[in-house]
Chains A and B, each alone.
Chain A
Amino acid sequence: MRITGVIQAGGKSTRMGGEPKALMRLAGRRIIERVLDAIEPAVDEVLLVTNTPELYAFLRLPMVPDAYPEGGSLGGIFTGLKAAPGDAVFTVACDMPFVHADVARFVVSRAAEGDVVIPRVGDQLETMHAVYGKACLVPMEERLRAGRLKIVGFFDRVRVVEIAASEIAAWGDPAVVFMNVNTPDELLRARVLAGEGA
């Protein structure tokens, strides 16, 4: 089974204080580079979904523009899945500084088990650290065209396999592995976690 890694760098709120979040540095490395480093060994190739390719050209990844710019995260996941050469995508967001190579490899290793393979931490399904198979395309497109953008909204139409937080805990605190940085506070917290001090 061929799996394409997809980094989501579309959407509108990707800036913090004027700078794209994904380009901020943490322990000397841009957040998006940390994401790429973690997922690249787990997948067959990586592509990037973005409407601002000039910002990310330095990564030298194939890039696709978001097919549904108003479609939120669901639109980005759909875009990556549709463009992916693989049978399924492993989708992550560009602003998750602590994506872990072993967790990524573990989730990808379960890809064949369902149309969606997704970690759950408490009440939260980690939609931005999940595998989506091509069978999700038609149900996703239906929801997008109806303007119903909740990612999990199509899950009742496909086979969903959940990965429990306990299966991942050996590699790191799930609350950290899946965290993204949306606010200056979260970035500060990430810097502490990355050992940069406050």
Chain B
Amino acid sequence: MRGGDLVAFPTETFYGLGAAALDAEAVRRVLAVKGRPESRPLLVLVDSVEMVERVAAAVPSAARGFMARHWPGALTLVLPAAANVPRELTAGTKTIGVRWSSHPIATGLVTALGGPVTAPSANVSDGAPPTTADEVRAYFDGTIALVLDGGPTAGGPPSTVLDVTVEPAHVLRAGAVAV
């Protein structure tokens, strides 16, 4: 991943497609293999509040409350993006979606890399999100470097996406966590 390669990994919902999120070239590769339009932002995984502060221009106190109540877990918080965040990640929205996953492999990958990791579901744009390593391989065999096989994931609803750049916070996507 430090060299720009992509790695798929399990999360508490689906398998995600990971690249070093601050490497614009690697993020472009994620969008390319997914066949995903660049008009939609990608969320990233972190393993600490400190890491959030590296990618967010500001962390409102309301956001800190949601972190304390729901992290690690399936809640994505949308924050104003810091200047160093690649445009490919924000899709021009100037915001970034972050979450701290409760899955040990997902979070272990972030810790091992020492930086945020992209985590769109590991499927091509019109495909169903995968819950097994085999489904990931069926989509991306030969095009990504590695699939970390953590067994079947829970599936179900994806993470809840909550915009905390506005007040009161606004649910952009209802999902696994009730807020």
Using a CB–CB cutoff of 8 Å, the interface residues on chain A facing chain B are: 82-87, 134, 137-139, 141-142, 145, 157
11 A-B residue pairs with CB within 8 Å? A82-B47, A82-B48, A82-B107, A82-B111, A84-B104, A134-B72, A134-B102, A137-B71, A138-B68, A138-B100, A142-B68
Count, chain B residues at interface, CB 8 A:
15
B49 CB contacts on chain A under 8 angstroms: 138, 141-142, 145
* B50 interface residue per 8 A CB criterion: yes
Q: Is the pair B48, A141 in contact by a Cβ cutoff of 8 Å?
A: yes
A142 CB contacts on chain B under 8 angstroms: 49, 64, 68
How far is it, in angstroms, between the C-alpha of A137 and the C-alpha of B67 when the chains are bound?
A: 10
B48 CB contacts on chain A under 8 angstroms: 82, 141
Binary contact readout B66-103 vs A (1 if CB under 8 angstroms, 0 otherwise): 01100110000000000000000000000000001010
CB nearest to B105 among chain A residues: A85
Beta-carbon contacts under 8 Å, B31-69 to A: 47-50, 64, 67-68
Cβ contact of B68, chosen from A82, A83, A87, A139, cutoff 8 A = A139
How far is it, in angstroms, between the C-alpha of A142 and the C-alpha of B67 when the chains are bound?
A: 11
Cβ contact of B50, chosen from A84, A87, A145, cutoff 8 A = A145
Query: What distance in Å separates the Cβ of A96 from its nearest Cβ neighbour in chain B?
Result: 26
B68 CB contacts on chain A under 8 angstroms: 138-139, 142, 157
B107 CB contacts on chain A under 8 angstroms: 82
The 4 A-B residue pairs whose C-beta atoms are closest, nearest first, are A85-B104, A138-B68, A138-B67, A134-B72
How far is it, in angstroms, between the C-alpha of A84 and the C-alpha of B47 when the chains are bound?
A: 13
How far is it, in angstroms, between the C-alpha of A75 and the C-alpha of B104 when the chains are bound?
A: 19
Query: What distance in Å separates the Cβ of B67 from its nearest Cβ neighbour in chain A?
Result: 5
Query: What distance in Å separates the Cβ of B176 from its nearest Cβ neighbour in chain A?
Result: 15
CB nearest to B48 among chain A residues: A141
